[in-house]
C-alpha cells in the first residue's frame, strides 16, 4: 500500500520506496550549491532551468530515505535528519504509514555522516531507532565524524560547522554495537543485489548505492550531485563539499556510467521523487526526471 509520503517503484523483483523524512529550506541556494560558478554563468544556468536568478531566495529540498525490500532483506538507505528542524523527523512515521515498522528493517545503510542522512539513527530517547537492524557505514566516514573533523575548508559559518559536527557526535555512538564498518574505497555488497560504491568528495568516505535485480538497475547518487544544474555544469560544487576536486572526479565518473548504461538514477536533494535518468549532452549531461 502506498502512503502519501511515499513513492513506490520496482527494480527487477525488488520493491522500492522513496520515503519522505521531511523537507528543509536552504537559503541563498545559488551561492550554496554553485559556490565556484562565475556569477554571470550561474545566472544564465538558472534561467536555462526556468529559475529567476534575482528571486531564487530558497530551495526546499526533500530529505528522503530509500527503502529496498528484496524478499529476503529490508534495507533502509539513510535515516533523514531527525530533529534537525521542525519540518524533519517524519521518516519512521511515514514508513509505518506505508506498512513498514522499524522492527521490519534488518539493514540500515548510512552513506555519509551529514546530519540530514544520519539524524534519524536514534529515537527521542537517544536509543537506536532501528533496534533489530545492523547499521552499515563506510569506515572513513565513521572515523572522520566521530573524531575531530576538520571542517575549516568549508565556506560556511560557524553555526553550520557546529551542526555538522554535533549531530553525528550525538547520533552515531549509540549505534556502535549494531554497526558494521565497510571499506569506503572498495565496492561492497551489503545484501544480495545492494552494493555500496566509492564516491568520495562530498565527504571523505561518501558512497553511492547500486541496486540491481534481474536486468534492472538503480544508481543512487546520494549527494554526488545536489541539484540538476550540476549535470549541465559538473565542475561547480557546493559549500558543503569537503574536497571539490574529488567531487568533480567522482561526479564525472558516475554520471558517465549512468548515461552509458541507461540506468535509473536517484539523487537525494533533487525535486521529488528525485528519480530519473541521465543522458549525455555534449561534454556534460542532462536530467530527465520521472514525475511523481
Domain boundaries, the chain: 6-289
pLDDT tens figures, 158-180: 999 999 999 999 999 999 999 99
Residue spans of alpha helices (H) in the chain: 29-33, 39-48, 91-97, 115-118, 139-145, 158-171, 229-232, 244-261
- At residue 4, the pLDDT reads 74
CATH H-level superfamily of 6-289: Ribonuclease Z/Hydroxyacylglutathione hydrolase-like (3.60.15.10)
- Give pLDDT tens digits for 24-66: 999 999 999 999 999 999 999 999 999 999 999 999 999 999 9
Classified as helix, coil or strand, 147 is: coil
pTM of the model: 0.97
pLDDT in tens, 186-216: 999 999 999 999 999 999 999 999 999 999 9
pLDDT tens figures, 265-275:
999 999 999 99
- Model confidence pLDDT, tens digit, residues 77-114: 999 999 999 999 999 999 999 999 999 999 999 999 99
Amino acid at each position: 500500500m502506498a502512503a502519501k509520503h511515499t513513492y513506490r517503484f520496482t527494480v527487477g523483483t525488488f520493491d522500492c520506496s522513496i520515503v519522505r523524512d521531511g523537507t528543509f529550506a536552504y537559503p541563498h541556494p545559488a551561492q550554496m550549491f554553485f559556490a565556484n560558478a562565475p556569477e554571470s554563468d550561474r545566472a544564465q544556468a538558472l534561467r536555462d532551468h526556468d529559475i529567476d536568478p534575482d528571486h531564487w531566495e530558497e530551495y526546499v529540498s526533500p530529505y528522503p530515505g530509500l527503502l529496498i525490500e528484496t524478499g529476503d532483506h529490508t534495507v533502509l538507505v539513510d535515516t533523514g535528519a531527525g530533529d534537525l528542524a521542525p519540518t524533519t523527523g517524519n521518516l519512521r512515521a511515514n514508513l509505518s504509514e506505508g506498512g513498514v515498522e522499524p522492527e521490519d528493517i534488518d539493514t540500515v545503510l548510512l552513506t555519509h555522516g551529514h546530519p540530514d542522512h544520519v539524524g534519524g539513527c536514534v529515537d527521542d530517547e537517544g536509543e537506536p531507532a532501528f533496534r533489530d537492524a545492523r547499521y552499515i557505514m563506510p569506515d572513513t566516514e565513521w572515523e572522520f565524524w566521530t573524531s575531530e573533523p576538520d571542517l575549516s575548508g568549508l565556506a560556511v559559518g560557524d553555526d553550520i560547522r557546529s551542526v555538522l559536527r554535533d549531530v553525528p557526535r550525538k547520533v552515531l555512538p549509540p549505534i556502535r554495537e549494531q554497526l558494521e564498518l565497510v571499506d569506503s574505497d572498495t565496492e561492497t555488497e551489503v545484501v544480495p543485489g545492494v552494493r555500496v560504491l566509492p564516491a568520495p568528495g562530498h565527504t571523505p568516505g561518501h558512497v553511492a548505492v547500486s541496486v540491481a535485480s534481474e536486468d534492472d538497475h538503480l544508481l543512487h547518487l546520494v549527494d554526488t550531485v545536489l541539484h540538476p544544474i550540476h549535470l549541465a555544469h559538473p565542475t561547480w560544487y557546493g559549500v558543503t563539499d569537503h574536497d571539490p576536486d574529488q567531487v568533480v572526479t567522482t561526479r564525472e565518473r558516475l554520471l558517465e556510467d549512468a548515461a552509458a548504461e541507461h540506468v535509473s538514477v536517484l539523487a537525494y536533494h533533487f525535486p521529488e521523487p528525485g528519480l530519473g535518468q541521465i543522458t549525455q549532452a555534449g561534454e556534460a549531461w542532462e536530467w530527465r526526471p520521472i514525475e511523481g
